[in-house]
Structure 1
Amino acid sequence: MRTFSAIAGSTAFFIAAPGVVAGLVPWLLSDHYRLPWSTVPGFVPAGGVLIVAAAAVLLHAFARFALEGLGTPAPVAPTEKLVIGGIYRHVRNPMYVAVLSIILGQALLFSSWTLVAYAIIGAVVMGSFVRFYEEPTLARRYGADYETYRRNVPGWLPRLTPWRDE
């Protein structure tokens, strides 16, 4: 039953958080209805690839929270275990990286400086949230396990080889 609750909670949070931040808001800020989209050569395919790849990472990260951590990314329903598998072996904040990548992919797709500015603002907000809330909370909750993980896995720029918790 705990797994079902974690999946349901993660799904609801997926719609409420990244669905709004990386979906609804960029759609509202862009000239999404204007065709053709970007007229800059290569921007549309590059933006599309970035969006699809980042969406796959985001879905994987959410699944890890539900299936490995038995919880959700929402602060009100945290995981029972520290999530360090899958994509989390390469980067500590794959959800934020993926959301920002989706926004930047849309900036390419629509040739939108507004979305670039939105991504920059989002990066500052997300980075501040991680630094001043998430990291201290995880350190208190998971102690030495989180500190070991934090020392070995970068927060924002993924490592090429996966970290092995040995």
Structure 2
Amino acid sequence: MTKQNQTPSNWAHLRDIFLLPFTVTIILPALFFHSPQIFIFNNWILPILCFGFIGLGLSLLFITISLFKRLGEGTLAPWQPTQKLIIAGPYKYCRNPMITGVLFILIGEFFLFLSYNHLILIVCFFTANTLYFIYSEEPRLVLRFGQEYTIYKQNVPRWIPRLKPYTPKS
């Protein structure tokens, strides 16, 4: 078995989680906040929005990382990609639920800190990922998975989820 076809270790998964989602949701926001932030919870809606988005984002993140490990035999990082195309769980509804999870965490953090810097981070994160998927990841997925990915891409939207789960025809 070649190194490229080996299932990544738990250490590789933890490393990639720290390098990617943790950096975007914890380290980058911390760099934006050079002065103490005001926690404004004088409105009952803000905490519900904050923790609702963060909870949903964390759930999506953990489910998708688990699918990468269990079904895809790879990590979330582009330097150790999955060996199998994942069309299960949230991937039946949209093509990038992991990034959507990170986006939800950032939106929840915005409601926590009410910071314009966070809005800038959210827009930059979304824009950078959209460009990355269109010009880099999706062409590589077509090369790796061929017709299977092309059909999946035609049936499952990039960001806005389908109402009914996609089921590939056997």
TM-score normalized with structure 1 length = 0.90
Give runs of ≥4 in structure 1 deviating > 3 Å: 30-41
TM-align CA RMSD: 1.8
Q: Relative to structure 1, is the Cα distance of residues 74 and 36 closer, same or farther in structure 2, using a 3 angstrom cutoff?
A: closer
TM alignment of 1:3-152, pairs within 5 A: 3=7, 5-30=8-33, 33-34=36-37, 36-152=39-155
Instruction: Give the partner amino acid of 2:87.
Output: I
Supply the distance in 2 between the matched residues of 1:14 and 1:32 (Cα, whole angstroms): 27
Listed as ranges, the gaps of 5+ residues in structure 1 are none
Deviation at 1:34, TM superposition (A): 4.0
Q: Is the 2:39–2:112 contact (alpha carbons within 8 Å) kept by the matching residues of 1?
A: no
Letter in 2 for 1:139: V
When normalised by structure 2's length, the TM-score is 0.88
The percent of aligned pairs where both chains have the same amino acid is 29
Determine if contact 2:93/2:164 at 8 Å carries over to the other structure.
yes
Shift of 1:106: 0.6
SS at match of 2:146: helix
